[in-house]
Chain A
Amino acid sequence: MSDYDFGIKLEGFSDGLAPLAHLDSRTFLGSKGQASSMRADVISNPGFIQQSPALANLTNGTQAGVVDQLIRFILDKPTASTTTFAIGTTKLFKLSSTAVTSGGSPSWPQTVTDMTEGESVIRLKANLYGFFNKASGGDILQMPLATEVIDPDWGSSNDEALEDALHPVAAKEDIMVFGNGRYVGIYVEGSSTLDVQKLDFGEGAEVADIVFNANVWYIAVNYGEGRRGQIYLYDGSAISNVLSDEAGLGNQKIGFLFVFNGIVYVAYQDNTSGAFAIGWMSGRQLKPLRYFAGSLPDHRQKTLYKNTILFVSDEDIFSCGAPVEQLSIQISDLADAGYATVGGLAAPFGTPMVASTDGSTNYRLAKFSGLSVDSNWKSLSLDVTDGRKLGKITCVIVSTQALSSGAKAELTLEGNQGILDDSDTFSITGANKIRHVFRSINLKPAQDVRVVLDSSNGHASNACPIRKIELLGNFVDR
């Protein structure tokens, strides 16, 4: 006869957060590998839970260096193998994969005349263009990559001033299409045609994001303070004065569009529930993929990482997607984004970079590096009753990869949705260990239990990848 009445196997952790985790951080609904709450990495080694990536400041990447303001946008496509650019509130920055350039000729970072809020940067042929707002209105800067000398009012000199608004931009060959408040502007370098008001979406509209896919421009527009979202298609040559097609999303505010592998993804807020979601355009329908809590990211806060879309929500960096097609789409809270106010996110050299500020005097531009100890994973709440009987966990078995010296995670059991005293904490550690068996669990019999993994005492470089957690127990009359 078995020593145990019941067993629970938690595995397949690549499924990320549970479907309703954005509504209930102790949700019971989900699959065996899903979390009710987390900040952990389930995409680097799918199937395993491991610590979140840590952040390391770039050289000169804080106020002690040259980053003395929030970097609002980082150019995701480098202009050379070791060079990209970023825009802050008043300055244009030059970056490599490891450092923020300081000094040189011209001297970096460069202050942009009258700029108060950088919005976006893009490279078109031999020039870099920057879109920004001023105390009143906005403008476009042009900077030849060869000379790096900024013309701060290139836009207003060649057409007219921009609106004070979001300015998402996308480029293709010699054409760039950009948002300008209620307008979409275009610049065709071949014909030197700049029109900052090529298309007009009307009073109360704001262009949220623009991407190019399948020979057309996708333009996301929010109306009425974000109470209604609409996606339009526009002729790829940007010559036409009329829109090609449209899909109405309804009562949803669009945050960003993202193209990956021919699919247009949409980050949006469902105004009726307050939830945020990542969906994709299927025909004229927006199909939701996964939901998340926090805040709606905008056009400056998205990138691609390990085959998944990385985006900012509140102070965290989330991942949505499947590391390989044979796995399911997951959404997960991958990492801390730094300080409380997050700016631009991008991965121009493959490793994500994120900018943030504490809203006071501290600023940073940091990239993923090593492992964070500010990482945790919490299972679904697991019902362990059988009729009138409660469940008493008597054994926990954790399977890991062979651990390196110092690798460590700590496991705790919570009972009755946190009302019961937690169990003792068990350390999952030990060089070359792959199986960790814990008995003498001191958690009282409970209606439900939740497994909590914490990396506060983990290692900064040796991960503790967990593949399976098995709970064994007995039913107890109460």
Chain B
Amino acid sequence: MAKIKDLTPKLKTKLKTAEQEFRQEYQAGELPFGQNIGGTQMFSNVFKRGYGDAVFGSSELGIWLGAADFADAPFQVDMDGNVIASSADFSGAGYTKINIFRQASIPTSVSVGDLWFDSDDNNRMYRAASAGADEIKAGEWEEVATPSVTVFAQDSVPTALAVGDLWYDTNDSNKPYRAASIGADEIKAGEWELINDLRAADALLKAGSSQTLTGDIQVGAGNVIIDGANARILINDGMNDRILIGYDEGGF
């Protein structure tokens, strides 16, 4: 018995199921487009971990933290090793480079050269002379002289906090004084010492002794004039010429 010939059309390649169709083949050296693993997004030239501005990223520019893009990040390290950071705290355990402390109590230094700003003593600065320093004394925390001075502007005599403090006496034409010692509370040598500004007198002296002035020098309402152009001195009271008038009538 002859078999019926099957003329049913067939595709040479069987159709894949949808399941098979979307099976992604591995392509050597190629990341899937916008691959995302554990919140890390990997692209051709950048990867980012995080979202929005809370991002750690790496690109051809360097690495960064705290912004969507390198250029906007508060922390950046470029390919030349340059670091930009908003602040730094090196107090972590095991850190052996220079540490900077700012606190009220005496810290324990980690390395020689550590710095401590005493926050309840006007940020007085100390330098560690040894690792493990925990006292203020020679060989441990040693004060670093700082040029900080206090400027007083008041009527009464202040008590100096440091040598070099300045005081402007507000009820005496802001006469300036400099403290010659800590605790100075009197105007005298070794305590508050007057600072004489001799420049004005010096300027007049110079003008009078070696400088040539042009024009007139007028005093008061113009009744006393040193008239250089005409080589004369004019003195009058508006009515009468005056040369010298005695204090008492009839004097001189």
Q: Are B19 and A326 in contact (CB under 8 A)?
A: yes
Q: Are B7 and A283 in contact (CB under 8 A)?
A: no
In the complex, the chain A residue whose C-beta lies closest to that of B39 is: A215
In the complex, the chain B residue whose C-beta lies closest to that of A471 is: B7
Give the distance in Å from the alpha carbon of A283 to the alpha carbon of B23 in the complex: 12
Q: Are A283 and B30 in contact (CB under 8 A)?
A: yes
A234-284 contacts to B (CB < 8 Å): 235-237, 239-242, 244-247, 263, 280-284
Q: Are A216 and B34 in contact (CB under 8 A)?
A: yes
Q: Are A247 and B10 in contact (CB under 8 A)?
A: no
Query: What is the number of residues of chain A that contact chain B, defined by CB distance less than 8 Å?
Result: 53
Give the distance in Å from the alpha carbon of A218 to the alpha carbon of B97 in the complex: 47
Query: B-facing mask of A276-298, CB < 8 A → 1, else 0?
Result: 00001111100001000000000
Q: Are A328 and B53 in contact (CB under 8 A)?
A: no
Q: Is B93 an interface residue (CB 8 A)?
A: no
B40-55 contacts to A (CB < 8 Å): 41, 43-44, 46, 48, 51-53
Q: Are A6 and B5 in contact (CB under 8 A)?
A: yes
Q: Is A32 an interface residue (CB 8 A)?
A: yes
Q: Are A325 and B19 in contact (CB under 8 A)?
A: yes
B10-25 contacts to A (CB < 8 Å): 10-11, 15-19, 21-22, 24-25
Give the distance in Å from the alpha carbon of A443 to the alpha carbon of B176 in the complex: 125
- Inter-chain contacts of A31 with B (CB < 8 A): 9-11, 15
Q: Are B36 and A214 in contact (CB under 8 A)?
A: yes
Is chain B's interface secondary structure helix, strand, loop, or mixed overall? Answer: loop
Query: A-facing mask of B48-84, CB < 8 A → 1, else 0?
Result: 1001110000000000000111000000000000000
In the complex, the chain B residue whose C-beta lies closest to that of A3 is: B4
Q: Is A70 an interface residue (CB 8 A)?
A: no
CB distance from B42 to the nearest CB of A (A): 9
Which residue of the partner chain, among A7, A284, A380, contacts B33 with CB atoms under 8 Å?
A284
Give the distance in Å from the alpha carbon of A382 to the alpha carbon of B5 in the complex: 13
Give the distance in Å from the alpha carbon of A36 to the alpha carbon of B172 in the complex: 110
Contact of A6 with B6 at beta-carbon distance under 8 Å, contacts A214-B36, A283-B33 already known:
yes
Binding site for A on B (CB under 8 A): 1-11, 15-19, 21-22, 24-25, 27, 30-34, 36, 41, 43-44, 46, 48, 51-53, 67-69
Binding site for B on A (CB under 8 A): 1-2, 4-10, 15, 19, 28-32, 214-216, 233, 235-237, 239-242, 244-247, 263, 280-284, 289, 321-322, 324-329, 380, 382-384, 386, 391, 472
